[in-house]
């Protein structure tokens, strides 16, 4: 069957409606049924019948042609719908749809060419496959050979994509989700920007409506004020008032409409923003999962490589041992021979064995180096992923606790300073004027006690976390810290020396400021994760500046 006939055959289902139409109609329409008519009447009857048959065939041909092309259009639509419904063909949809359209267009062009070349619709129908042929003529586009030639390709592509998708890393899948969400977010941002501009425009309209309404109300008020109603001008004034009131009513209506329009636009903008925020949350989650899975996949891949290298190293070690034994045996055999014996063959084997041993040793050394580098890149200490995760979690916990301890120490210091100042101030007041200061002091001492308690508790948590982390190189700097950071001592109420209360307060404040400065300076000089223990606390510091006798 040549190409054109093959194309015609492929139109079985598309043309069958036309075929049915041709077969279901009579070919001759007799206008008379009187056998006794004259010859002239028979001639007229035959002429009418011929004309009717020609007219019918012309109409039938046109209908069959239309059915042919309508069938192809239906096949095209069904195939394209199927492609569009498949979520798995996202990257291939455009290509497949273009191929379907091109194929259908080619079929149509071949039909047109065949008809223009003189083939009748009957001849087209005569070439359609019959029962037992390539297919049977039915009206369903699902059985169309056009469908059969393209649909298997779609199914094959879906299967190929499914297999490819099943083998893709999770990190790539999550990244694809994130990329898709990012595209949607960007489009929504553009939509939100337009909505924002719409809101601003409608708010401007609302403001203008408010101004117009105020002017209308002011005008109505002026009309009422400036025109006193009497018998002479009653109708005229009432008309003026009615006109002004109508303007007010119209302005009020315009303001109401502008307000509703602005609120509607604002609601739409709010909906877009909510959608953007929701998609952004999902996007961030997808990115995080992509990064997390990528690390796991890289770790798994490196572990797999390490296992392969370890297996290779073991195999090479065996081969080296075998080669070494062969060399050693040959040397023993050679050493046991008499000088007069022919040793050339053994010496050749020994040389060959030594060369093989040298090659295997070099290959072993190379693989051992690769393995060591890979293991170092995985973790210098050979820790498992669970151990690394736990250590990272502890590191974060230690960092957070160290920051909290530093903050609490600062709060304790500041509160202690406040307490000292209040005590000094209270000492210089008369009893009848001291009640408010006493209340403030009591509150400050309560806060100080709470902060000191919280500091002690947090320091214990930090010590426990440092102990759990263990004496590793990654350990933070305070594993051996025996006690909470030196708390500014709460001195007993200073015995009243010869100095005035103000002088004593200034000295206390200066001393505590110096202590805090020294402590913070020492903390800053400590690297965050050094192996040496933290500087010992300095409880003796206050003794360096004894209070005045």
> For position 181, what pLDDT does the model report?
92
One digit per residue, the tens of pLDDT, for the chain of length 549 reads 433 333 333 333 333 333 333 333 333 333 334 444 445 555 555 555 555 566 666 666 777 777 777 877 887 787 777 777 765 566 666 777 787 888 778 777 877 777 777 777 667 656 654 444 444 443 444 445 555 555 676 677 767 776 777 778 888 888 989 999 999 999 999 999 999 999 999 999 999 999 999 999 999 999 888 887 777 788 888 888 899 999 999 999 999 999 999 999 989 999 999 999 999 999 999 999 999 998 888 888 888 888 898 999 999 999 999 999 998 998 888 888 776 677 788 888 889 999 999 999 999 999 889 888 888 776 555 565 667 777 788 888 888 898 889 889 889 988 988 888 888 777 777 777 778 888 888 999 999 999 999 999 999 999 988 888 765 544 444 434 444 444 444 444 444 444 555 556 556 655 665 665 555 445 444 444 434 444 444 444 444 444 443
> For position 111, what pLDDT does the model report?
76
Question: Which is nearest to 248 in space by CA: 224, 270, 219?
Answer: 219
CA 221, chain centre distance (Å): 61
Q: Is the dihedral of CA 395, 397, 398, 400 positive or negative?
A: positive
| Strand positions, DSSP E, 328-427 | none
Given its phi and psi angles, is residue 382 left (phi above 0), alpha (psi -120 to 50 degrees) or beta?
Answer: left
Question: Which is nearest to 194 in space by CA: 249, 250, 96, 269?
Answer: 269
Cβ partners under 8 Å of residue 248, min gap 6: 213, 216, 217, 220
Q: Which two tokens stand for residue 394?
A: 């502890």
- Eight-state DSSP code of residue 40: H
> For position 363, what pLDDT does the model report?
92
Q: Which two tokens stand for residue 338?
A: 């008499």
* DSSP assignment string, 146-187: HHHHHHHHHHHHHHHHHHHHHTS-HHHHHHHHHHHHHHHHHH
- How far apart CA 453 and CA 463 sit, in angstroms, is 15
> For position 47, what pLDDT does the model report?
55
Cβ partners under 8 Å of residue 84, min gap 6: 93, 97
> For position 516, what pLDDT does the model report?
55
First to last CA, the chain: 125
Residue 275 φ then ψ, to 5°: -65, -40
Cβ partners under 8 Å of residue 545, min gap 6: 507, 511
Long-range contacts of 141-145 (CB under 8 A, 24+ apart): 141/13, 141/14, 141/71, 141/74, 141/75, 141/78, 142/78, 143/12, 143/13, 144/10, 144/11, 144/12, 144/13, 144/14, 144/71, 144/75, 145/9, 145/10, 145/11, 145/12
> For position 124, what pLDDT does the model report?
62
Write the burial class of residue 297 (CB in 10 Å: 0-12 exposed, 13-18 middle, 19+ buried): middle
C-beta of residue 80 within 8 angstroms of C-beta of residue 105: no
- How far apart CA 370 and CA 363 sit, in angstroms, is 11
- How far apart CA 380 and CA 395 sit, in angstroms, is 17
> For position 36, what pLDDT does the model report?
44
Q: Which two tokens stand for residue 77?
A: 């639509």
In the block, which residue shows the tokens 């009497």? 230
- How far apart CA 138 and CA 117 sit, in angstroms, is 27
* DSSP assignment string, 248-291: HHHHHHHHHHHHHHHHHHHHHHHHHHHHHHHHHHHHHHHHHHHH
pLDDT (tens digit, 9 = 90+) per residue, 125-164?
566 544 444 444 434 444 455 555 556 766 777 677 767 7
> For position 311, what pLDDT does the model report?
92
- How far apart CA 469 and CA 388 sit, in angstroms, is 11
Torsion from C-alpha of 462, 468, 474, 478, nearest 10 degrees: 40
How many of the other CB atoms lie within 10 Å of CB of 5? 12
| Strand positions, DSSP E, 456-540 | none
> For position 284, what pLDDT does the model report?
93
- Using DSSP's 3-state secondary structure scheme, residue 27 falls into coil
- How far apart CA 539 and CA 483 sit, in angstroms, is 11
> For position 2, what pLDDT does the model report?
36
> For position 200, what pLDDT does the model report?
93
- How far apart CA 495 and CA 510 sit, in angstroms, is 18
Q: Which two tokens stand for residue 427?
A: 């000492």
- How far apart CA 535 and CA 537 sit, in angstroms, is 6
> For position 87, what pLDDT does the model report?
55
Given its phi and psi angles, is residue 132 left (phi above 0), alpha (psi -120 to 50 degrees) or beta?
Answer: left
Assign 3-class secondary structure to 85-140: HCHHHCCCHHHHHHHHHHHHHHHHHHHHHHHHCCCCHHHHHHCCCCCCCCCCCCCC
């Amino acid at each position: 069957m040549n190409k054109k006939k093959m194309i015609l055959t492929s139109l079985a289902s598309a043309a069958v409606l036309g075929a049915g139409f041709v077969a279901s109609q009579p070919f001759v329409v007799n206008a008379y049924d009187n056998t006794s008519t004259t010859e002239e009447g028979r001639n007229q009857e035959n002429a009418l019948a011929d004309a009717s048959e020609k007219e019918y065939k012309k109409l039938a041909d046109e209908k069959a042609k239309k059915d042919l092309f309508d069938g192809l259009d239906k096949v095209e639509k069904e195939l394209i719908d199927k492609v569009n419904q498949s979520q798995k063909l996202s990257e291939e949809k455009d290509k497949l749809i273009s191929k379907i359209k091109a194929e259908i267009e080619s079929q149509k062009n071949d039909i047109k060419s065949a008809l223009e070349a003189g083939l009748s619709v009957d001849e087209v129908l005569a070439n359609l496959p019959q029962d037992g042929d390539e297919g049977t003529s039915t009206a369903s586009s699902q059985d169309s050979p056009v469908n059969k030639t393209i649909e298997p390709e779609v199914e094959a592509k879906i299967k190929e994509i499914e297999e490819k998708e099943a083998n893709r890393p999770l990190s790539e899948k999550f990244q694809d989700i994130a990329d898709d969400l990012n595209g949607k977010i960007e489009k929504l941002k553009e939509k939100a920007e337009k909505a924002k501009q719409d809101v601003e425009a409608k708010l401007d309209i609302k403001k203008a409506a408010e101004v117009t309404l105020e002017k209308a109300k002011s005008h109505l008020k002026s009309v009422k004020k400036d025109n006193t109603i009497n018998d002479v001008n009653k109708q005229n004034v009432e008309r003026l008032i009615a006109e002004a009131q109508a303007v007010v009513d119209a302005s009020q209506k315009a303001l109401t409409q502008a307000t509703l329009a602005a609120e509607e636009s604002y609601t739409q903008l709010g909906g877009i923003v909510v959608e953007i925020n929701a998609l952004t949350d999902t996007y961030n989650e997808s990115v995080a999962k992509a990064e997390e899975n990528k690390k796991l996949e890289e770790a798994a891949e490196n572990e797999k490589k390490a296992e392969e290298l370890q297996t290779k190293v073991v195999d090479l070690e065996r081969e080296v041992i075998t080669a070494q034994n062969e060399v050693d045996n040959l040397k023993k055999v050679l050493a046991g021979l008499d000088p007069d014996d022919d040793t050339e063959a053994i010496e050749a084997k020994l040389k060959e064995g030594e060369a093989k041993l040298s090659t295997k040793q070099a290959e072993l050394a190379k693989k051992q180096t690769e393995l060591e580098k890979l293991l170092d890149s995985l973790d210098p200490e050979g820790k498992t992923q669970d151990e690394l995760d736990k250590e990272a979690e502890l590191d974060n916990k230690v960092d957070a606790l160290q920051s909290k301890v530093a903050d609490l120490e600062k709060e304790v210091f500041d509160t202690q300073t406040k307490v000292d100042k209040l005590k000094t101030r209270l000492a210089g007041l008369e009893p009848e004027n001291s009640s408010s200061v006493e209340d403030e002091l009591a509150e400050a001492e309560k806060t100080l006690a709470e902060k000191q308690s919280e500091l002690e508790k947090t320091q214990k948590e930090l010590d426990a976390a440092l102990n759990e982390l263990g004496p590793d190189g990654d350990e933070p700097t305070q594993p051996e810290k025996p006690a909470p950071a030196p708390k500014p001592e709460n001195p007993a109420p200073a015995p009243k020396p010869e100095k005035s209360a103000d002088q004593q307060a200034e000295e206390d404040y200066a001393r505590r400021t110096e202590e805090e400065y020294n402590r913070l300076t020492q903390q800053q000089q400590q690297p965050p994760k050094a192996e040496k223990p933290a500087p010992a606390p300095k409880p003796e510091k206050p003794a360096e500046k004894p209070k005045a006798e």
